[in-house]
Amino acid sequence: MTAFSYTVSATDGSARLGQVQTAHGVIDTPAFMPVGTAGTVKAMMSNSVAQTGAQIVLGNTYHLMLRPGADRIERLGGLHRFMNWAGPILTDSGGFQVMSLSKLRKMTEAGVTFQSHLDGSKHELTPEASIEIQRKLDSNITMQLDECPAHTEDKKIIDTSMGLSLRWARRSKDAFDDREGYGLFGIVQGGVFDDLREQSAKGLIDIGFNGYAVGGLAVGEPQEMMFKVLDGLIPHMQKDKPRYMMGVGTPADIVGSVLRGIDMFDCVMPTRSGRTGKAFTRRGDVNIRNARHADDPRPIDEHCICPACKDYSRAYIHHLIKAREILGPMLLTWHNVQYYQDLMAGLRESIGASNLDAFVKRFHNIKSQGDIEQL
């Protein structure tokens, strides 16, 4: 078996080119993880996801514990076999979904009790239970259970929440089954307050994790505030462990975060946008629903290698979306996931060649020229 490890092979400023070794393969970083919340990246087959260059996908404890159930997945050979994904899997602990989806949530020191958003059934999620569920799923990267408050500038609320998350981090670490090739990540909380972020990071480092995530951002604060938080936090994070920015985000969010030293990302944006008719391109965003595309023979992005761009026109995909044919969201989702993977490959290449600044300038200059629909 391969030990879980992280190595840095090159840096460019604060940005890092690295590799995470897991029992199910290597993750080249910076990396973007397509979100497979319920054991599937929506509108894509697992082999299609792999063809985009994605090496790791994300699943979710909250959704999988409710349906089909962690015990069932374990009996069927674990999440890798269940969803036919051979590569690494990271599972979110469920804390954010308990906050955002569940009914009648009650938080205590022990954990959180809640009613399922599916059928109203009552459940309890503790740090120990979350870790055990993720073990049954056979997740390569397990996340500690944390408390995820909504964005607020009330420091007392954030301080109390951060303290609870630290105590849950210790319990998560104690409950984790330390297997070769598997890792546990702590989650830095603290809202927009630099001193609380520092306190959280140092507390997690004292406990000791295989990697560290930044939680509680991309929850409503402006981008400049998110970057400001990272600028204050990164100096307090370990250099020899991977850093994961949870739930981020737009291409510009990712580029700015890589510049500041973040290694891993996930977001529903490329898949959700694909289902609603939006495509990300190197020249800007395209709303394929717009009537201007009805007679357009061009591909969505002439530089993209995905099937939507190689084999079909904007006019055809426009027709599919307007006709509500399921192939339309499938093609757009594939394209968007491909775009995100190409962006990450470009970032990795530029860090390795020590020309990240030039890459970032090209990225922003092209975007500033306006939407590709105008060209």
- Distance between terminal CA atoms of the chain? 52
- Whether 240 is catalytic: no
d(Cα 214, Cα 212) in Å, to the nearest integer?
7
| Torsion angle defined by CA atoms of residues 147, 152, 157 and 162, in that order, rounded to the nearest 10 degrees | 40
Catalytic residue among 92, 138, 301, 342: 92
CA dihedral 326, 327, 328, 331 (to 10 degrees): 130
Strand runs labelled E in the chain: 5-12, 15-22, 25-29, 31-34, 57-60, 89-92, 103-107, 112-115, 122-125, 141-143, 183-188, 211-214, 243-245, 264-267, 278-281, 284-287
Assign 300 to helix, strand or coil: coil
Q: CA dist 147 to 29, 99, 312, 330, Å?
A: 27, 8, 45, 34
- Of the candidates 12, 159, 266, 342, the residue annotated as catalytic is 266
Nearest to 356 by CA among 227, 255, 231, 274: 255
Catalytic annotation on 296?
no
Contacts of 19 (CB under 8 A, 6+ apart): 6, 7, 9, 26, 27, 28, 29
The residues assigned a catalytic role are 92, 266
